[in-house]
Amino acid sequence: MTNQGTGRPSITVAAVQTQPVIGDVRGNLAAITEAVTRAAERGARLVVLPELCTTGYVFASREEARALAEEVPTGPSTRSLTGLCSELGVHLVAGIAEREGDLLYNSAVLLGPDGHLGTYRKVHLWDNENTIFEPGNLGLPVFDTPHGRLGMLVCYDAWFPEAFRALALQGADAVCLPTNWVPIPGQQPGEPAMALSLCQAAAHVNSIHVIAADRVGTEREQPFIGQSVIVGPTGWPLVPPAGSQEPETVLATTDLTDGRRLRRWNTHNDPLANRRPEVYAPYTGGEEQRGGRRG
């Protein structure tokens, strides 16, 4: 299927919702391999996995995290996932614990059939992550792929609209979001997660895709809420979100570059071109550049 706006073939993307076990890297990789293989068999060419999907999330100490973390791209998990991409012909974004010398990062890696394409290090650390990891120091990069321009964020980064906007201004067509969402105080039973609203709002106001892969289960008394989602550039989920209890894969077929066309809402309105950075600058603590890559 070819999109009428860009002439680029549509692809199937997958948000793979898993249930990692803390410390069981081998078992987690086996479950990931099975889930990604099944997604590829169903046509997926871009797959997003949860935050810290190979190690688990609730580290008891920095020392425990260090023992499980690895260098990128030479670490065993990254090499294993890269081999899987080559075997299946897919691109993949996965959340891992990264080690660089004595420093630890909550990272996401972008891998493809030809190897490691890029790394993002989580900028906004959540709660006890501040005692485990260093804040990300690689900025907010965007990577060109055969399927479109991809940015990455991790979990709590999604609570900062500036992060999505910065990626959109650099020309990102989609933001891949490995995440480990936890319950939000005040949420009533049966209500969609607050995070779903954030993903929809970010997609809508930037005319980008957001592919969020969450985890499920309870780890060291911390529950996780699932509801992985794939949101299109108009802000609406392309398919219903995943459930909140079980591992599950959500798939949608779309042209990731379609937001380039849909961003032009009408003759006068485009959410990036209509920005007024000179008005915002006195209140945001810095100068901003007007416009952004739109082609």
Among residues 53, 85, 155, 199, which one is catalytic? Answer: 155
**Backbone φ, ψ for residue 103 (5° rounding):** -100, 145
- Give yes or no: 122 in active site: yes
Among residues 53, 70, 98, 122, which one is catalytic? Answer: 122
Among residues 51, 70, 98, 248, which one is catalytic? Answer: 51
Closest CA to 142 of 115, 109, 175, 116: 175
Pair 254, 44: CB distance under 8 Å: no
Q: Between vectors from CA 236 to CA 231 and to CA 241, what angle results, nearest 5°?
A: 60
- Give yes or no: 85 in active site: no
Closest CA to 3 of 154, 134, 148, 143: 148
- Give yes or no: 87 in active site: no
Residues assigned a catalytic role:
51, 122, 155
